[in-house]
Amino acid sequence: MKTTKIFWGFNLLLALVIVSFACQNEATKTEIAAPVYTDEVASGVFPYERLSTYGFFSGELNQLNPIEEVIPYKPASSLFTDYAMKSRFIFFPEGKKAVLLANEIDYPQGTILIKNFYYPADFRKPEGKRRIIETRLFINEAKGWQGYPYIWDDSQTEAILKVIGGEIEVSFTDYEGKDQVINYIVPNKNQCKTCHNNSENLVPIGVKVQHLNNELEYNTGKNNQLAYWTELDKLEGFEGEKAHPSMINYEDKNLPLDDRAMAYLDINCSHCHSAVGPASTSGLFLSYDQTDPRKLGVNKIPVAAGNGAGTFDFDIVPGKADESILTHRMNSTEVGVAMPELGRTTVHKEGVQLIKNWINGMK
């Protein structure tokens, strides 16, 4: 009888220990998930294995409903990624703000960019059923910006860190009602620097001042994005919309063709094709404010295009898009020919046509 009492007493004690440990563990999880990351950034705790651990979103994770501290943003023009749709958010560390100086934004350590890539089941019903493929985090750590790809599981309940990237078959119905199947490529962590490269430093692309100096619809109504950040005390140095450069949405067919073409080339090409990008030796600089025809490729022989040039001689032949290397490479998926080199496995038909129209209109 005494042995039985001891046995049950031990079991009760063990149960209390387990419950106590579970409560402590859950409290730890809650603490980790709180959106305050100053210590984690400084101590190199990042990245977490699961997207949910960061606590960016409330409710079901796949609804991507941001908490108050996570702010939506949207560049004026979007980089093409195999027709994937995107939702973007930014987290500023508590008590810190970005600084806008000389039309460059310096983001504080601890800033996190959150970019979700997804496909509607039917592009004609973009608000309907969708599949989220990946979430990319860009975190400004003590050692500088670092990129981390998270791949969503089939149940759409969690995204797991995959530094090696991956290849995912995606099917959807396009705008014309046709069924499409693509092999979507999630880049590995090391490939981030292929595009996010400024003088060999990893940098973000879509949060430059010219991409954000425009209006976005918030819960409180429409507002200029940089003005909104200023009101939230997350940005200093913004002097008003007209005081800073601003790009347009290249998809807006009501805007001038030249402006649309330059916006397209800037967001899709200029991160490499600039004086500080990986393609700096090409002499082909495709930023939105480029005005030198030669640097845009007009009647310019490529420096080292190799097989990528095909049978053509010049980057751009005015009035002859079908004889221009620029559109030839945009219209290809062949390795060594296709440009951009990463980020797509399909041809952006609408983008190619836009640049063709622009070149054909040159004299």
Give the least confident one: 37-51, 215-229, 298-312.
37-51
Give the least confident one: 7-21, 133-147, 186-200, 307-321.
7-21
pLDDT at position 20, please?
38
Q: Which of 257, 289, 259, 260 is nearest to 275 (CA)?
A: 289
3-state secondary structure of 92: coil
Q: Which of 190, 198, 192 is nearest to 271 (CA)?
A: 198
| Domain locations in the chain as residue ranges | 38-243, 257-360
pLDDT at position 190, please?
73
Q: Report pLDDT digits (tens) over 263-274.
A: 999 999 998 898
Give the least confident one: 35-44, 215-224, 330-339.
35-44
pLDDT at position 26, please?
34
Phi, psi of 115 (to 5 degrees): -125, 115
- 33 vs 49 pLDDT, higher one: 49
Cβ pair 228, 241 in contact under 8 A: no
Average pLDDT estimate for 78-89: 96
pLDDT at position 196, please?
61
Q: What is the dihedral of CA 289, 294, 298, 302, to 10 degrees?
A: -110
- Using pLDDT thresholds of 50, 70 and 90, give the confidence band for residue 37: low
Q: Which of 297, 293, 265, 270 is nearest to 284 (CA)?
A: 297
Average pLDDT estimate for 355-361: 98
Structure tokens given for 276? 């500080």
Question: For all residues of the chain together, what is the average pLDDT?
Answer: 86
CA distances for 13 relative to 8, 18, 77, 119, 296, angstroms:
9, 9, 62, 52, 76
Q: Is the peptide bond before 318 cis (omega within 30 degrees of 0)?
A: no
Structure tokens given for 124? 């004609």
- Using pLDDT thresholds of 50, 70 and 90, give the confidence band for residue 41: low
Task: Give pTM, 2 decimals.
Answer: 0.85
- Using pLDDT thresholds of 50, 70 and 90, give the confidence band for residue 6: very low
Give the least confident one: 20-24, 220-224, 279-283, 323-327.
20-24
- Using pLDDT thresholds of 50, 70 and 90, give the confidence band for residue 35: low
pLDDT at position 8, please?
35
- Using pLDDT thresholds of 50, 70 and 90, give the confidence band for residue 152: very high
Q: Report pLDDT digits (tens) over 169-215.
A: 999 999 999 999 999 999 887 766 556 656 567 789 899 999 999 99
Q: Report pLDDT digits (tens) over 299-325.
A: 999 887 667 888 899 999 999 999 999
Average pLDDT estimate for 24-44: 44
